[in-house]
A and B are shown apart, each in its own frame.
Chain A
Amino acid sequence: QKEVEQNSGPLSVPEGAIASLNCTYSDRGSQSFFWYRQYSGKSPELIMSIYSNGDKEDGRFTAQLNKASQYVSLLIRDSQPSDSATYLCAVNGYAGKSTFGDGTTLTVKP
């Protein structure tokens, strides 16, 4: 079992729709959770951090964390073509070490 698993994708949504990206993790002691966005040929960019159970909203992005279910999700509302990228879920981060999922590739079609 992988430490961090994401929907394999690819995920395709029409412009203006809600994109839902999911991630599960195996280490029940994990405390820090992150979503990174990676455009093709570019490096990962941090877009959301979440540390407590519940929802955290930042603009069109909402991260949801459920530690009991070991589940993290990212919702993108009003999806735009510019949101087309690979989204990486990452867990923990002590001393620089984050464990990443394989990523979900999102395509937003105009």
Chain B
Amino acid sequence: KAGVTQTPRYLIKTRGQQVTLSCSPISGHRSVSWYQQTPGQGLQFLFEYFSETQRNKGNFPGRFSGRQFSNSRSEMNVSTLELGDSALYLCASSSDKSNTGELFFGEGSRLTVL
């Protein structure tokens, strides 16, 4: 069974640009959540999608957005990039059948903003 796939793995952007990250969950998993990981703040929850609907959202500005497609693949977008957006962005999928809360993470997309 394939794991969670995130693309791209690494990217470098400049301030003011925007970026789109992609995530394909484990087959059969309908819940996809996104996290930001930085050395200073640790793992911070961005948002979660289930059946194309955003069910939960963390405390991030509106520059951070996402969506989910009918095949459960998800994308997140960050507009008007700031230096502080440099981080590892992790996607996690969950079966959500029993709402266990177990998360299965992808390898992450490492974003550097110059």
Whether both chains belong to one complex is answered with: yes
- Interface set of A (CB-CB < 8 Å, partner B): 32, 34, 36, 42-46, 49, 51, 88, 90, 92-103
Q: Top 9 nearest A-B pairs by Cβ distance?
A: A93-B101, A96-B48, A96-B33, A95-B56, A100-B43, A32-B101, A43-B105, A95-B55, A102-B42
Q: Is the CB of A46 within 8 A of B48?
A: no
Residues in A neighbouring B107, C-beta threshold 8 A: 42-43
Q: How large is the interface on B (under 10, 10 to 19, 20 to 34, 35 or more residues)?
A: 20 to 34
Residues of B at under 8 Å CB distance from A? Answer: 31-33, 42-43, 45, 47-50, 55-56, 58, 88, 90, 92, 94, 99-108
Looking at A42, A92, A96, the one whose CB has the most chain B CB atoms below 10 A away is: A96
Q: Do the beta carbons of A100 and B42 come within 8 Å of each other?
A: yes
A96→B42 contact, CB < 8 A: no
Chain A contacts for B48, CB-based, 8 A = 95-97
Query: With A and B bound together, what is the CA distance between A101 and B92 in angstroms?
Result: 17
Point out the residues of chain A lying under 8 angstroms from B99, CB to CB.
93-94
What are 19 of the A-B contact pairs (CB < 8 Å)?
A: A36-B103, A43-B88, A43-B105, A43-B107, A51-B100, A90-B103, A92-B101, A93-B101, A94-B56, A95-B31, A95-B55, A95-B56, A96-B32, A96-B50, A96-B94, A96-B103, A97-B58, A100-B43, A102-B42
